[in-house]
Amino acid sequence: MNYPNKKKSFQKEVNKANLGMTLESDIDATNRYYLDSGIAVIHKKPTPIQVVNVSYPARNKAKITEAYYKTPSTTDYNGVFKGKYIDFDAKETNSTTSFPLKNIHPHQISHLTSVEKQNGIAFFIIHFKPYNEYYILPIHLLMPLWENQYKEKGRKSIPYAYFKDNLHQIHFSYQPRLDYLKVIQTVFNF
């Protein structure tokens, strides 16, 4: 029998498969707002796949039954804002103390450094879920931290304090949800 005032303790199992989906939906809503308002054109990039097998149970009901990733996806989003090319990825962490560098892939680093070399705006949006805080992490600030992890006794994560002390926060609001372009203008001086 369950009494109304009796507290149950349980531990919620975290499904990491959809980690980042809330952040991505907030960015998608923000990008729709930017597009509808004529502010910017930024879209989520599709993941490139190679279809291997398709089942046709009925003429109009084709179903992909087997597919593989063609190449690793570079980043989640790209587009144009005030004549500048923008390319970025969205990452989340459940940690309260740091952001693990293993959440970023070497091909993403390579891609974003190439974008920056062409004078594009390259960055990550990092969401610390326990604090519900969002930060812009430009690729040029990430690179020394990224390279340090490969040194002897190099740190494999970025401390939360680094975000608080050195990076710009994106504040959550109603419209747009995550006005990251406002922060981008400050970070990249344009």
- Match 């390259």 to its residue by tokens: 122
Is 89 annotated as contributing to ligand binding? Answer: yes
User: Within 13 Å and on the Cβ side, how many CA atoms surround 60?
Assistant: 0
Q: Quickly count: other Cβ atoms within 10 Å of residue 110's Cβ.
A: 11
**Annotated binding-site residue? 108:** yes
Any idea what the Cα angle at residue 115 is, between residues 98 and 88, rounded to 5°?
45
Give the C-alpha separation, 180 to 68, whole Å.
33
By the 8 A CB rule, do 108 and 75 touch?
yes
| Sheet strand arrangement including 41-44 | 41-44, 77-81, 84-93, 121-128, 133-138, 168-170
Looking up tokens 């990039």, which residue turns up? 45
Is 74 marked as binding a ligand? yes
Tell me the binding residues for Mg(2+): 74, 76, 89, 108
Tell me the binding residues: 74, 76, 89, 108
